[in-house]
Structure 1
Amino acid sequence: MLRKIIKGLKNPKLFMLYILRFKIFQLIPDDIFLKIKFKLVTGEKLNLKHPKTYNEKLQWLKLHDRKPEYKKLVDKYEVRKYISETIGGEYLIPMIGTWTKFEDIDFDALPNQFVLKVTHDSGGLVICKDKSKLDIEEAKRKINKSLKRNYFYRGREWPYKNLEPRIICEHFLNDEDNIELKDYRFFCFDGKPKFIGVDFNITDKTKTRRNLYDLEWNLLEGQISYPNELSKKIKPPSELSRMINLSKVLSKGIPHVRVDFYNINEKIYFGEMTFYHQSGHGIIQPKELDYLMGEWIS
């Protein structure tokens, strides 16, 4: 903690974002908290009365679009049942086990490669490519830290409030080239996918690249938080058409949700459903794209 405070004193904005995580700030009403954090992260004033941009409207949706069913859609365990009932269990990544405590995991029984995920937040995961090299104590520290976190208070994303903390273990997935996993993210607006964000190097955020494509797989101008990958031409996934149709089904009746898939060896796997891309703080360039995406949210 001392190291973070010293670092924060050199960057007042980072320091303010850090102290916003303290429990005392959980008492701040949601709308006021969102205005404070929006200003700190984006440098812009949040207009909740007449939101125009994509990021502004995501903040508005946090406050006003609170359907109970969203809770099971963001829960990484509960959403599996929804996917099975809606599009079919064949699209689920095979699950190995589920636990409420890290200490209950029998690592000897796990395969050599696997992924541990905390079900009630974003980012609480451990990717194991070789069990003999896994630092179990570090994995324990990370998972237990996530288990104690009420992710709702990070960005007031309502569906995450008071979810039951659990751990699930899923099979490790490799992409077709066995080098990196591509994350196909369909940005959907009331059942209509408008474009696809494709993330590369998703296990290393310092090297992440993100391309934007239309539904015909034409590369679009513009960026959302990460640089484009222009060093090589990326082929469309083999099941692009089917993923588009599946995203339509899963996003029907929702003002906005991002539906993620993986496409490996001509097989589709569901990733997750995200209601507030980057919590409504993504850096969207050019600014016209931020306004255009905002127009798609009614």
Structure 2
Amino acid sequence: MKKRHGRKLDWNNLRTYSEKMQWEKLFDNDPRKVICSDKFAVREWVKGKIGEEYLIPLIGVWDSAEDINFEKLPDQFVLKTNCGSGDVIIIRNKSELTEKQIRGYRAKLNYFLKMKFGYNTCELHYNKIYPKIIAESFIDSKSTDLQDYKFLCFNGKAHFCWVDIGRYHEHRRNIYNMKWELQEWHQYNYGIYEKDVEKPVNFEKMVMLAETLAEGFAHVRVDLYNVEGKIYFGEMTFTNSSGFEKIEPESADMMLGNLWEIDTSIKV
């Protein structure tokens, strides 16, 4: 915390969003967090809350990379584990894959399966997820770069939408409020997109879906995609970047912290 934010953590006076995130990681043992953070198990949660039509089609699930039969997979697909971050493998043209590349992908996936992601940053709920590999359909926007809409929700209400552009090349992020007004605060690790992002036509529908999924949680980030007007669920995250991404200016970190009500006397 001191290395990333320049100050020690005062457990008796948690005020900012980043500070409260540290409490969330260590003391909030809500079992629903495990289900909703599991990229496979959360599918049933989403199905029950908003409906199956918002799920990216599932192609397969495996316990080991050796179990994957690449010959039976479609030409385009996405591979990832259900319990990590940054482990996405996107295949846009299977016919171009070499045996060496496939071996490399298997090794990479097995590495992520064995990794205890939660220990690296004290996001301990990830360690309670039984690791699996999942394959999903590749979704793509024909007109624009695929954008990721991340709704920051407190007490079941969406307050901000982080729009990620170019996630796999020149990753940038713009932040909007629910009136789609561009915010001046930002996260240090992300560049700001130079152009204003167009508000989705069905933005209010996206907000409604995000808030339905966020219902009952003091804090959660709900990620959605919007592909040519079709809304897809991405994931739910309770510990954004482990609370280590610096938010600038610091007053914005405080503002977000004020939206997040936690009772630090309770160790649930």
The CA deviation at 1:246 is 1.0
- 2:266 counterpart residue number: none
- 1:143 counterpart residue number: 109
**Mapped contact 2:4–2:245 kept (Cα < 8 A):** no
**Mapped contact 1:150–1:162 kept (Cα < 8 A):** no
- 1:226 counterpart residue number: 190
- Matches of 1:49 and 1:121, distance apart in 2: 31
Q: Secondary structure at the match of 2:46?
A: helix
**Mapped contact 1:200–1:208 kept (Cα < 8 A):** yes
Q: Is it true that 1:171 corresponds to 2:172 in the alignment?
A: no
Match of 1:193 among 128, 138, 158: 158
- 1:68 counterpart residue number: 31
- Matches of 1:112 and 1:160, distance apart in 2: 31
Residues 234-253 of structure 1: per-residue CA shift (max 9 Å, x gap): 21112210110111111112
- Matches of 1:174 and 1:268, distance apart in 2: 12
Residues 238-295 of structure 1: per-residue CA shift (max 9 Å, x gap): 2210110111111112111100000112111000000011110112111110000011
- Matches of 1:42 and 1:201, distance apart in 2: 26
- Matches of 1:259 and 1:183, distance apart in 2: 10
- TM normalised by structure 2 equals 0.92
Task: Report the AA paired with residue 146 of structure 1.
Answer: F
The CA deviation at 1:141 is 2.1
- 1:237 counterpart residue number: 200
Task: Report the AA paired with residue 227 of structure 2.
Answer: I
What are the equivalent positions in structure 2 for 1:1-298 lying under 5 Å apart? Answer: 38-134=1-97, 135-177=101-143, 179-204=144-169, 207-224=170-187, 225-230=189-194, 232-298=195-261
Q: Secondary structure at the match of 1:161?
A: helix
Residues 28-87 of structure 1: per-residue CA shift (max 9 Å, x gap): xxxxxxxxxx22333321122211111000101112221111111000110000000111
- Matches of 1:152 and 1:233, distance apart in 2: 35
- 1:17 counterpart residue number: none
**RMSD, matched Cα:** 1.2
**Mapped contact 2:4–2:246 kept (Cα < 8 A):** no
The number of aligned residues is: 257
Q: Secondary structure at the match of 2:31?
A: coil
Identical positions, percent: 41
- Matches of 2:102 and 2:229, distance apart in 1: 34
The CA deviation at 1:148 is 0.5
Q: Secondary structure at the match of 2:231?
A: strand
**Mapped contact 2:149–2:164 kept (Cα < 8 A):** yes
- Matches of 2:115 and 2:184, distance apart in 1: 37
The CA deviation at 1:176 is 4.2
**Mapped contact 1:125–1:143 kept (Cα < 8 A):** no
Task: Report the AA paired with residue 136 of structure 2.
Answer: E
Task: Report the AA paired with residue 284 of structure 1.
Answer: I
Task: Report the AA paired with residue 203 of structure 1.
Answer: Y
Residues 156-187 of structure 1: per-residue CA shift (max 9 Å, x gap): 1132123111000000111241x521000000
The CA deviation at 1:105 is 0.7
Structure 2 regions of 5+ residues with no counterpart?
262-268
Task: Report the AA paired with residue 53 of structure 2.
Answer: E
Task: Report the AA paired with residue 139 of structure 2.
Answer: L
Q: Secondary structure at the match of 1:132?
A: helix
The CA deviation at 1:228 is 1.0
Structure 1 regions of 5+ residues with no counterpart?
1-37
- TM normalised by structure 1 equals 0.83
- Matches of 1:66 and 1:213, distance apart in 2: 30
Which runs of 4 or more aligned residues in structure 1 lie more than 3 Å from their structure 2 counterparts after TM superposition? none
- Matches of 1:138 and 1:97, distance apart in 2: 19
The CA deviation at 1:123 is 1.8
The CA deviation at 1:217 is 1.1
